[in-house]
Structure 1
Amino acid sequence: MSVPLEITGPLAPPRANGELVFAEPWESRAFAMAMTLTENGFLTWRDFQTALVARIEAWQTSAEATRPPWRYYDHWLAALEEVLVAAGHLRDGDVAARLRVLAGRPVGHDHR
């Protein structure tokens, strides 16, 4: 199964010369997680796209003075988390709790 990625428009992942572009390593990991989870039946691409569209539209319609800078993969990751919670694969707050644990570790500590 292959996932149909948008080539243009607000849903299209960032590209340069036709290739996907990731500004930071976590972005490519978030991308790969969504693809793998979809291809293995843990979520549907339609549900993920719907959540991603809603996140992007909410950002676009929010007050310019209060909205964070545009970062496509912030929306991608938030949509992925939302769909996984809705499907029962994560509990609401699991990701935030894990981030707090990892952020509390000393610099250079492994990330298990």
Structure 2
Amino acid sequence: MPRKQFDSYRINITHGTWAVANISCYKNGVYQGTIYFVSGAVNEPTINSNGSLSLYFSFDKFESIYTVCREERPVYIEIWGASDKYCRVTTDSEPVGEEEGN
């Protein structure tokens, strides 16, 4: 289960390419992988030859994943499952009510 933490990211909104948008992920300035958002069929995730990860989601997931990138820490991209065919953007465990007022 390859898992990469990232602490910075770059967003690209594109036209004329197969991906409508992507979020490139970095840890201490080192490329960790890219989250691609597409309007059509979604590919299975890939582990690239350099160890980076490529995750694919439908474009309707863009806003929620972008919100996680902006508001949470730490954030990870991850490929999982018996044949590494699933992917997710995830965080560490957080206490219940963390953002609630007293």
* TM-score interval (norm. to shorter): 0.3 to 0.5
Higher strand proportion, which one?
2
Larger Rg: 1
The normalised TM-score by structure 1 is 0.33
